């Protein structure tokens, strides 16, 4: 296995973990605005949804960061990202051309992030992950 094959999954996981954990910190520190945005999207119980979103982002982000149950964390974040993207970035309903373009860019970015998460689901966390620590110990015996 080449160096790039060993290090790329780690760097990819770290980038995705940073994205979700940084978003959770930003959203948590701006609670009232985030609740208002959820209410404007006509979603029920915005404070509850925001709290659940933060929990999913933190748990999923930490899972990717450490490579601990990374496939489960990636599935969780994939479902979350897909749902949030469709509910919050519905660019096809926006009449204003500038706002529609902005929402489309966010929609496309989220689809790319979801694709990266599916790569982790399919291929695993890579060699530098807590998921592989137990497997490495079994091979030594």
pLDDT at site 137? 55
pLDDT 10s digits, 67-112: 999 999 999 999 999 999 999 999 999 999 999 999 999 999 999 9
What's the average model confidence in pLDDT over 18-27?
98
Residue 52 lies in a domain: yes
Closest CA to 131 of 65, 81, 70, 59: 70
pLDDT at site 135? 58
Phi-psi region of 42 (alpha: psi -120 to 50; beta: other; left: phi over 0): left
Residue 138 lies in a domain: no
pLDDT 10s digits, 116-135: 999 999 999 999 999 988 65
Q: Which domain holds residue 51?
A: 3-132
The phi, psi pair for 68, rounded to 5°, reads: -105, 115
Q: Report the chain's mean pLDDT, rounded to a whole number.
A: 93
Residue 141 lies in a domain: no
pLDDT at site 138? 54
Q: Would you mind telling me the total number of residues written for the chain in this entry?
A: 141
Residue 111 lies in a domain: yes
Question: How many angstroms from the chain centroid is the CA of residue 135?
Answer: 26
Closest CA to 38 of 30, 26, 50, 24: 50
Give me the number of domains the chain comprises.
Answer: 1
């Amino acid at each position: 296995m080449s160096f790039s094959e060993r290090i790329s999954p780690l760097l990819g996981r770290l980038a995705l973990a940073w994205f979700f954990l940084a978003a959770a910190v930003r959203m948590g520190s701006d609670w009232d605005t985030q609740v208002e945005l959820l209410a404007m999207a006509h979603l029920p119980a915005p404070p509850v949804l925001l709290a659940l979103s933060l929990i999913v982002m933190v748990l999923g982000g930490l899972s990717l960061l450490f490579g601990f149950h990374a496939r489960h964390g990636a599935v969780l974040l994939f479902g979350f990202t897909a749902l949030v993207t469709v509910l919050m970035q519905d660019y096809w309903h926006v009449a204003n051309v500038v706002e529609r373009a902005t929402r489309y860019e966010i929609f496309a970015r989220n689809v790319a992030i979801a694709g990266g998460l599916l790569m982790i689901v399919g291929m695993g966390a890579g060699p530098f992950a807590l998921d592989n620590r137990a497997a490495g110990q079994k091979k030594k015996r």
